[in-house]
Amino acid sequence: MTHTIAYRAAILDSLGDPAELGLENSYRYFEDGMMVVENGRISALGHAPEIMKGLKSGTKIHHYEDALITPGFIDTHIHYPQTGMIASYGDQLLDWLENYTFPAEQKFADPAHAEQVSEIFLNELMRNGTTTALVFGTVHPQSVDAFFSSAEKRNLRMIAGKVLMDRNAPATLTDTPESGYRDSKALIERWHGKGRLHYAVTPRFAPTSSPEQLATAGQLLREYDGLYMHTHLSENRNEIEWVKALFPEQNGYLDVYDHHNLLGQRSVFAHGVHLCDEECHRLAETDSAIAFCPTSNLFLGSGLFNLPQAEQHKIKVGLGTDVGAGTSFSMLQTINEAYKVMQLQGKKLHPFKSFYLATLGGARALQLEQQVGTLEPGSEADFVVLDYNATPLMSYRMQQAKSLEERLFVLMTLGDDRAVKATFAMGETVYNRD
Q: Is 101 in the site for ligand GUN (CB under 6 A)?
A: yes
| Residue 40 dihedral angles phi and psi, to the nearest 5° | 85, -5
Nearest distance, CB of residue 352 and ligand GUN, angstroms: 28
| Residue 350 dihedral angles phi and psi, to the nearest 5° | -70, 145
Q: Collect all residues with Cβ–Cβ distance below 8 Å to 131 and sequence separation of at least 6.
A: 71, 72, 73, 74, 125, 156, 157, 372, 382, 383, 384, 423, 424, 425, 430
Minimum CB distance to Zn ion smaller for 163 or for 214: 163
Nearest distance, CB of residue 81 and ligand GUN, angstroms: 9
User: How is the beta sheet containing 41-47 ordered, strand by strand?
Assistant: 41-47, 27-38, 4-14, 60-71, 383-387, 420-425, 428-432
Which one of Zn ion, ligand GUN, none is in contact with 205 (Cβ closer than 5 to 8 A by kind)? ligand GUN
Nearest distance, CB of residue 121 and ligand GUN, angstroms: 15
Q: Which stretch binds ligand GUN (CB under 6 A): 66-74, 93-101, 328-336, 384-392?
A: 93-101
d(CA 46, CA 325): 40
Beta carbons of 402 and 388 less than 8 angstroms apart = no
Minimum CB distance to Zn ion smaller for 322 or for 382: 322
d(CA 198, CA 270): 18
Helix (H) or strand (E) holding 230: strand 228-233
Beta carbons of 99 and 89 less than 8 angstroms apart = no
Q: Is 243 in the site for ligand GUN (CB under 6 A)?
A: no
Task: Count the site residues for ligand GUN by CB under 6 A.
Answer: 11
d(CA 166, CA 203): 9
Q: Which of 264, 259, 220 is nearest to 243 (CA)?
A: 259
Which one of Zn ion, ligand GUN, none is in contact with 97 (Cβ closer than 5 to 8 A by kind)? ligand GUN
Minimum CB distance to ligand GUN smaller for 297 or for 367: 297
Q: At 75, is the secondary structure helix, strand, or coil?
A: strand
d(CA 201, CA 363): 18
Q: Is 387 in the site for ligand GUN (CB under 6 A)?
A: no
Amino acid (1-letter code) at residue 389? N
Q: How far is CA 209 from CA 39, 234, 274, 279, 361, in A?
A: 44, 15, 21, 21, 30
Residue nearest to Zn ion (CB): 322
CA angle 235, 98, 185 (to 5 degrees): 75
Nearest distance, CB of residue 27 and ligand GUN, angstroms: 31
Nearest distance, CB of residue 325 and ligand GUN, angstroms: 4
Q: At 264, is the secondary structure helix, strand, or coil?
A: coil
Which one of Zn ion, ligand GUN, none is in contact with 101 (Cβ closer than 5 to 8 A by kind)? ligand GUN
Q: Is 204 in the site for ligand GUN (CB under 6 A)?
A: yes
Eight-class DSSP state of 377: T
Q: Which of 192, 232, 282, 407 binds ligand GUN (CB under 6 A)?
A: 232
Minimum CB distance to ligand GUN smaller for 322 or for 369: 322
Minimum CB distance to ligand GUN smaller for 166 or for 322: 322
Q: Is 108 in the site for ligand GUN (CB under 6 A)?
A: no
Q: Which of 235, 255, 369, 417 binds ligand GUN (CB under 6 A)?
A: 235
Nearest distance, CB of residue 235 and ligand GUN, angstroms: 5
x/- letters, 297..336, toward ligand GUN (CB under 6 A): -------------------------x--x-----------
Q: Which of 52, 127, 149, 134 is nearest to 429 (CA)?
A: 127
Q: Which of 97, 254, 263, 298 binds ligand GUN (CB under 6 A)?
A: 97
Nearest distance, CB of residue 321 and ligand GUN, angstroms: 11
Nearest distance, CB of residue 77 and Zn ion, angstroms: 6
CA angle 373, 379, 382 (to 5 degrees): 60
The site for Zn ion (CB under 5 A) is made up of 270, 322
Minimum CB distance to ligand GUN smaller for 93 or for 126: 93
Which one of Zn ion, ligand GUN, none is in contact with 235 (Cβ closer than 5 to 8 A by kind)? ligand GUN
Minimum CB distance to ligand GUN smaller for 93 or for 375: 93
Which one of ligand GUN, Zn ion, none is in contact with 198 (Cβ closer than 5 to 8 A by kind)? none
Q: Which of 262, 158, 257, 140 is nearest to 207 (CA)?
A: 257
Q: What is the binding site for ligand GUN (CB under 6 A)? A: 79, 93, 97, 101, 204-205, 232, 235, 296, 322, 325
